[in-house]
């Protein structure tokens, strides 16, 4: 009995096990299909969690599998490794230049030409972030990467201006620019030209294709020419056309007070210009009056109603300097007149416009002149000359007039040649003797060294620093010993510096036998002493005898008197308040001048004795 119960118990055990797999009581109320679906879903979720967990574990600190940057697979790489891989790929791929072909023409562009580069670190960082967003986003991105791959675009950097320059070169040879519709005015005739399409490249598409080709397998970019439409069509010129017709339809009258002027319609045609108007989404052409053209026509015509502005000037006399006050000018306001004409000229009647005047300020006002500090004479010097040589006297006067009124700013270096300019006949200079190559020869502007020597001595006694000075090639006794100065255009110059804190005025005056140059400003307080050394290195002039058959033998006549060569040193000491400011040494070396003597060779007739005939 006992054994039989054990066997029965053993037979029924599996049935109790099956009862343990029954659905929970709360699910038993669901229909069988729902219970099965819920079970499958739970299994999928569980499996997804396991997979995701495994994937996370495998991608810890690395880029998710299946991610690539452009064509570079970087899955399971660290950011550093991905950076190196991308940089190496771009460097290798861009070694060869890219060819650009437009119809039959070809150009090449190297990576260096456009400063091609890549932010490999930034791209690697973007790849690392794939699958690391919110939970739902992360699962989606990781699944896509595993089953189909995910690409981070390989973006290249380049110099916009360099690529634009390359495209400009391509366009210069391939593009036929479109022609906008236009309006033209010739006198009173107004005509229009029709627009036409152009042909060129799509710059945006070309730039994209060229940069992409640097890392592509194929290195040739073929660009197709596309039609380029004009920006302004015929309809966009209608308003400008009608306005131009109105502008040249009749004369216009101008008036100011009791004066009137009439401008013919043909002249108005010269004022009309055309420009694009950007006030609408579609550009249009508009007619306008060109201010510069109006001024060029009207200002000379109405000059009688204006007056030029006068700068403040300085007047020096008898050691005193005064300021001649400035005066405002009055001129037609060309801008205002142009604005008024643009309204008046489109009328069919009442085509009159009043001139608007404006005040013209002088370049140097009285207040400006007062602030320059020119109030007293600093130094003056006079040299004398013979009034008998009229051309030489003329040149001295012309040059003095050109020099008079020169203003030298604080710190500025005065240049004789730079201030006077080239001496020409057009300026009034005449031919007079000048020393050239040690000889006196006629030269345009001869005598200017008289003025050069005078201003040098004025500066010498002012105490101002002398920057450049050269003595004459031969000694001229009418000038102070060792204190002459020669100047010539393209040759020696005379320069000095205004080392004071105020402006300096150069004032000149002259007569037929003397010239005076003075410097005015604010006295710097310099005291000048000087010492003239003895003549040294005296060299007798060479003598050249010239035979003259018209003179009796043994007779000698000096044609050109020689001058001895010699050297002298003048030392100038400038002090201020008892302290030495500067010590200057002016050394003058004069070459000897050949003496020319005519020697007679004409035979002297001998005396004969005649005996009277017996």
Does the pLDDT value for residue 16 go beyond 60? no
Query: Which residues, listed in sequence order, are joined to residue 179 by a DSSP beta bridge?
Result: 196
What are the tens digits of pLDDT across the range 301-332? 888 888 889 999 999 998 999 999 999 999 88
Q: Mean pLDDT for the chain?
A: 87
What DSSP element (H or E) covers 292?
Answer: helix 291-301
Name the domain boundary from 340, 369, 398.
Answer: 369
What pTM was estimated for this model as a whole?
A: 0.59
CATH number for position 241 = 3.10.20.800
In a domain, 185, yes or no: no
Residue 457 pLDDT grade (very low, low, confident, very high; cuts 50, 70, 90): very high
Q: With left for phi above 0 and alpha for psi between -120 and 50, is residue 153 left, alpha or beta?
A: beta
Name the domain boundary from 369, 394, 409.
Answer: 369
What are the tens digits of pLDDT across the range 409-437? 999 999 999 999 998 899 988 876 655 55
Q: Does 465 lie in the same domain as 329?
A: no
Q: What percent of the chain clears pLDDT 70, i.e. is strictly above it?
A: 86
Residue burial 490-507, b: 16+ Cβ < 10 Å; e: rest:
eebbbbbbbbbebbbbbb
CA–CA gap between residue 386 and residue 227 (Å, rounded) = 84
Residue 132's CB is within 10 A of a number of other CB atoms, namely 14
What are the tens digits of pLDDT across the range 93-102? 899 999 999 9
Cα–Cα distances (Å) from 195 to 173, 228, 314, 505, in that order, read 22, 12, 62, 63
Q: Does 337 lie in the same domain as 376?
A: no
Task: Output the pLDDT for position 11.
Answer: 44
Task: Output the pLDDT for position 109.
Answer: 94
In a domain, 334, yes or no: yes
Q: What percent of the chain clears pLDDT 90, i.e. is strictly above it?
A: 66
Task: Output the pLDDT for position 217.
Answer: 86
Residue burial 230-257, b: 16+ Cβ < 10 Å; e: rest:
bebbbebbeebbebbbbbbbbebebebe
In a domain, 594, yes or no: yes
Q: Does 339 lie in the same domain as 423?
A: no
Q: Does 477 lie in the same domain as 587?
A: yes
Indicate the DSSP class of residue 176.
B
Q: Does 471 lie in the same domain as 379?
A: yes
Q: Measured between alpha carbons, how far apart are the two ends of the chain, in Å?
A: 230
Mean pLDDT, to the nearest integer, of 487-507? Answer: 95
Cβ contact 414:556 at 8 Å: no
Mean pLDDT, to the nearest integer, of 242-252? Answer: 96
Structural domain span for residue 356: 235-369
Cα–Cα distances (Å) from 262 to 247, 255, 301, 545, in that order, read 14, 9, 10, 79
In a domain, 507, yes or no: yes
Spacing of C-alpha 605 from chain mean position = 84
Cα–Cα distances (Å) from 517 to 81, 372, 418, 508, in that order, read 84, 20, 18, 5
In a domain, 400, yes or no: yes
pLDDT greater at residue 608 or residue 31: 31
CA–CA gap between residue 462 and residue 548 (Å, rounded) = 52
Residue 25's CB is within 10 A of a number of other CB atoms, namely 7
Q: Does 574 lie in the same domain as 444?
A: yes
Indicate the DSSP class of residue 412.
P
In a domain, 510, yes or no: yes
Task: Output the pLDDT for position 613.
Answer: 58
Does the pLDDT value for residue 533 go beyond 70? yes
Task: Output the pLDDT for position 234.
Answer: 94
In a domain, 34, yes or no: no
Q: Does 376 lie in the same domain as 282?
A: no
CA–CA gap between residue 57 and residue 69 (Å, rounded) = 22
Task: Output the pLDDT for position 467.
Answer: 97
CA–CA gap between residue 563 and residue 438 (Å, rounded) = 10
Q: Does 440 lie in the same domain as 343?
A: no
Name the domain boundary from 369, 401, 423.
Answer: 369
Q: Does 278 lie in the same domain as 260?
A: yes
Does the pLDDT value for residue 439 go beyond 60? no
CA–CA gap between residue 418 and residue 403 (Å, rounded) = 11
Most confident of the following: 129-138, 246-255, 294-303, 540-549: 246-255
Tally the domains of the chain: 2
Q: Does 427 lie in the same domain as 519?
A: yes
Task: Output the pLDDT for position 486.
Answer: 93
Cα–Cα distances (Å) from 260 to 234, 302, 304, 307, 330, in that order, read 39, 9, 12, 18, 18
Q: Does 410 lie in the same domain as 288?
A: no
What are the tens digits of pLDDT across the range 72-84? 999 999 999 999 9
Cβ contact 446:496 at 8 Å: no
Q: Does 411 lie in the same domain as 322?
A: no
In a domain, 244, yes or no: yes
Q: Which residue, among 63, 56, 213, 221, has the nearest Cα to 151 in the 3D structure?
A: 63
Query: What are the DSSP calls for 58-107, one per residue?
Result: HTTTSPPTTEEETTEE-TT--HHHHHHHHHHHHHHHTSSPEEEEETTEEE
């Amino acid at each position: 009995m006992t054994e039989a119960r054990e066997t029965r118990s053993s037979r029924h055990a599996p049935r109790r096990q099956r009862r343990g797999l029954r659905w929970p009581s709360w699910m038993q109320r669901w229909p069988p299909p729902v219970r099965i679906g819920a079970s499958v879903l739970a299994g999928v979720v569980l499996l997804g969690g396991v997979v995701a967990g495994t994937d996370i574990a495998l991608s810890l600190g690395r880029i998710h599998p299946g991610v690539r940057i452009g064509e570079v697979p970087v899955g399971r790489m660290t950011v550093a490794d991905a950076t190196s891989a991308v940089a190496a790929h771009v460097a290798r791929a861009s070694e060869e230049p890219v060819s650009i072909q437009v119809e039959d023409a070809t150009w090449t562009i190297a990576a260096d030409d456009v400063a091609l580069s890549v932010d490999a670190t930034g791209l690697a960082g973007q790849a690392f972030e794939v699958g690391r967003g919110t939970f739902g986003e992360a699962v989606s991105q990781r699944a896509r990467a595993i089953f189909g791959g995910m690409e981070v675009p390989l973006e290249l950097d380049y110099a916009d201006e360099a690529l634009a320059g390359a495209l400009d070169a391509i366009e210069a040879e391939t593009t036929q620019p479109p022609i906008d519709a236009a309006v033209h005015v010739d006198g009173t005739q107004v005509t229009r030209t029709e627009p036409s399409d152009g042909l060129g490249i799509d710059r945006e598409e070309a730039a994209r294709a060229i940069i992409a080709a640097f890392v592509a397998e194929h290195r040739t970019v073929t660009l197709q020419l596309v039609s380029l439409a004009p920006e302004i069509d015929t309809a966009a010129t209608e308003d400008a056309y009608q306005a131009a017709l109105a502008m040249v339809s009749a004369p216009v009258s101008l008036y100011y007070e009791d004066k009137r002027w009439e401008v013919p319609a043909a002249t108005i045609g010269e004022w009309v210009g055309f420009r694009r108007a950007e006030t609408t989404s579609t550009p249009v052409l508009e007619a306008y009056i060109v201010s510069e053209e109006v001024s060029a026509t009207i200002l000379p015509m109405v000059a009688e109603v204006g007056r030029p502005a006068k700068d403040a000037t300085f007047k020096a006399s008898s050691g005193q300097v005064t300021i001649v006050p400035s005066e405002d000018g009055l001129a037609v306001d060309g801008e205002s007149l142009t604005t008024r004409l643009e309204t008046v000229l489109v009328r069919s009647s009442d085509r009159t416009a009043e001139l608007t005047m404006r005040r013209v300020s002088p370049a140097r006002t009285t207040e400006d002149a007062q602030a320059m500090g020119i109030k007293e004479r600093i130094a003056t010097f006079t040299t004398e000359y013979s009034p008998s040589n009229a051309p030489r006297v003329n040149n001295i006067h012309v040059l003095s007039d050109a020099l008079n009124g020169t203003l030298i700013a604080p710190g500025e270096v005065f240049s004789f040649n730079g201030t006077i300019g080239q001496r020409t006949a057009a300026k009034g200079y005449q031919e007079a003797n000048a020393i050239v190559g040690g000889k006196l020869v006629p030269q345009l502007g001869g005598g200017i060294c008289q003025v050069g020597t005078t201003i040098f001595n004025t500066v010498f006694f002012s105490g101002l620093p002398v920057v450049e000075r050269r003595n004459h090639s031969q000694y001229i006794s009418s000038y102070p010993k060792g204190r002459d100065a020669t100047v010539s255009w393209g040759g020696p110059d005379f320069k000095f510096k205004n080392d004071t804190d105020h402006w300096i005025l150069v004032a000149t005056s002259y007569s037929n036998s003397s010239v005076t140059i003075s410097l005015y400003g604010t006295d710097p307080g310099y005291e000048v002493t000087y010492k003239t050394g003895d003549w040294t290195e005296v060299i007798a002039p060479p003598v050249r005898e010239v035979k003259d058959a018209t003179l009796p033998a043994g007779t000698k006549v000096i044609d050109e008197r020689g001058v001895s060569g010699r050297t002298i040193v003048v030392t100038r000491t400038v002090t201020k308040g008892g302290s030495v400011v500067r010590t200057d040494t002016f050394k003058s070396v004069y070459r000897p001048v050949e003496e020319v003597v005519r020697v007679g060779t004409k035979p002297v007739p001998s005396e004969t004795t005649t005996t009277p005939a017996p």
